[in-house]
Amino acid sequence: MFALVKLAITHIAAVRCYEDGRFDDMRMPAMGTQIAPVLRQISKMLPTEEP
């Protein structure tokens, strides 16, 4: 789970760097497409409440 959280943060930071104009590498905004799948994977690992 920790590795997935780090991956999500890395992707978010890459997109932010591109948006702020610090990098012009088009791979940076492309990383943004992977944020939602990573967050879904994290949510699957979280415990669920049982009635």
pLDDT at position 51 over 80: no
b vs e for 20-45, b when ≥16 Cβ sit within 10 Å of the residue's Cβ? eeeeeeeebeebeeebeebeeeeeee
pTM (2 decimals)?
Answer: 0.81
- pLDDT tens digits for range 9-36: 999 999 999 999 998 999 999 999 999 9
The pLDDT assigned to 49 comes to: 84
Residue 51's SS3 state is coil
